[in-house]
Amino acid sequence: MTPDLATSTLPHADPFAVFDAWFAEARRTEPNDSNAMALATATPDGVPSVRMVLLKGHGAHLGEGGGFVFYTNSHSRKGAELLANPQAALLFHWKSLRRQVRIEGQVARVSDADADAYFASRARDSQLGAVASDQSAPLDSRETFLARFAEAEARFAGREVERPNHWLGFCLVPRAIEFWQDREHRLHDRRRYLRDPAAAGGWTSTLLYP
């Protein structure tokens, strides 16, 4: 075995610290949307769905013991499924770094104050789009959507755009985080962390066969 493959690149550590380091590197190297992540949800009877969303906050200071925050329309399929079955999974894939991070856990709403603050930080046209869109509902034509956008633009002319009540933030509090690093000859590195309040640092971890 060559020295390059002899040692794991993923020793046990604080998983949030590992994520912080990987995410910072991804922000430097990924050409587009380094904060893009696949969000998997399911209905209460277990029918799954998955789509891409954007990470808007993360860290050990969020939620109950750390979390990953994103925002969506609660009338959308993902929003409805999260409210009905608050279990979800996330996947980051940073192709330029040849890395993946899988995260599983329970989801809770962020506070209205936090949702208001993030909504206020968005570009105005993005705010108006959120007002105009019945996300995931059938749309008869794009012209209808653009007309609704124009109506929202006129309604809020000269004043701040109000966050719609159905536009919510969610925080996924992980019970498991798995890091995957590509290695030569498909001898990849994988380490899975499991939340354990009795363990030092609150987490246990183990390497996994690739």
Catalytic residues: 186
d(CA 194, CA 12): 11
- Do 175 and 67 meet the contact criterion of CB atoms below 8 Å apart? no
User: 100: which residues sit within 8 A by CB, 6+ positions away?
Assistant: 91, 92, 93, 94, 179, 180
Question: DSSP characters for 35-49?
Answer: TEEEEEEE-TT--EE
Other residues' Cβ atoms within 10 Å of the Cβ of residue 16: 22
The two tokens of residue 71 are 């925002």
Three-state DSSP state, 16:
helix
* Of 26, 97, 80, nearest in space to 58 by CA: 26
The two tokens of residue 45 are 């009877």
